[in-house]
A and B are shown apart, each in its own frame.
Chain A
């Protein structure tokens, strides 16, 4: 493993404190190694078995790679957004909509920030509160990313769209971005993971640090449509300020192995959090969503809705933990996770956890798993729908409950359309 770091070192931006931080992070990763099933948080996603090894850093994209990336960008359904494009882990300004940024938005490439100063402040970009081997690995290896700031009180009309395009084969990319929403600001962030034609067996490791200021509102939509044999491990560390609102929607339909691990802290009183997730999995795909929602202060609300549709021999994992700290009274937390198994070989594992240290709270979770209701299918078929179409209609309604949380009409329709495409591909 240490070869991995040594080989990449020259290409990793940042000297001084930044380089020291990387070194420490890599040592932390080496001590732990790839997470495996004996690590409780990774019980159902054993990377030692699923990933085996971390592949070498993807080469800097050349002109051919960029041309392929451009073609992939042209296929994106979401168009009316200010794009920030990362190709194989490198920020590409010429594909990005830097000129069209609205007032109050600042964007910098992580690489620039790290290279400019080997200072503690720059090194802090690589440090987060959560401890996890894959986050450590990301800190050690991150090549680039975007550092986005939304000024206090700014209300953005257009969403910002971070697009990760993979063009390389059998290589890995490490990206790390920071997204800071100022007090009272309003923004929408979209993230897409896509593959260019011919991108095979790559590994993406992304980390995103989001801070939502007091009274701010952020909605985030994340779409994972990686190549069939790709691995995507994403860690998100989010902090929500007082009376702020954060609304997340994630949909995973691509990738051989994908994991989204979110560590969300409700740090200011009166904040509201909604997390919605959809896994659409088939073949031998493995999709994992792991959430830790930490109610650190009183009077916060959190809602998690998760839907998994699992076909063929696919494997869906949902782990959600709500923590209520001792003084986080009047917390209102609810988590509902449902899995729909479409095949006898599909597997859905749910682990909704509650960890409660305050006595005046209302917390709950629910989890179900099962097949499509035969009675409902019969009802639709009796009215003339073919079986697959009837199934598709029911599945659409099933995942729709999570997708409906997207407030922006255009985005919601785009995500719903992506879900419908997945369903149509089944027929």
Chain B
């Protein structure tokens, strides 16, 4: 039976090439004027997935993205780099989704794929920087998760060993499969596309999947399923002295929640 890898990817605005017309007069993002790219950390996740594929017999890589039809470009890109399949979750009912609704839609889509051994994605997207979708998908699918992955050390049918990049060093962890892994920018760059695959992709249509095909509760999708409300956006540059290192304990997390509630962030 084949070893199935799913890569979660997102098409994002190319923040390195933002023109003068990138913002609308009302302060919202003028997406039509922005060139788009494959989210950089998702590309690194794709490379790690392709390395798993190189090591495993009979492995398949399927790339899943959610977005407008134009997001098909990154599916083609991923397939030209070595992914076997991919599709776009594209439907007006997904629009306005925050990370909760996005992770719900993606997790439902992954459920439809049958046996999945490994899910990989970038740590975060450069347009939102939340780093929430990967972990939320893992929670919804009840999978162990390995975050901040920088290097694949080994993999077999039952487990994966990963080097994680932490604030003050690295950590090697082994997880049973199936699992979800999120990959940081420290991981290896993605391989180049293959010329033959590029030419074949140019002639192929990318599969589009809508909300009806993922067995979803419509109330949990899009704007309706999104508790996050954006009050306003401001540019903040964090200084190092403003950051706090928390220990991964219940006490520390409770204290953080209390602080965030007190400051009206939550």
User: Are chains A and B native binding partners rather than an unrelated pairing?
Assistant: no
Interface residues of B (CB under 8 A from A): none
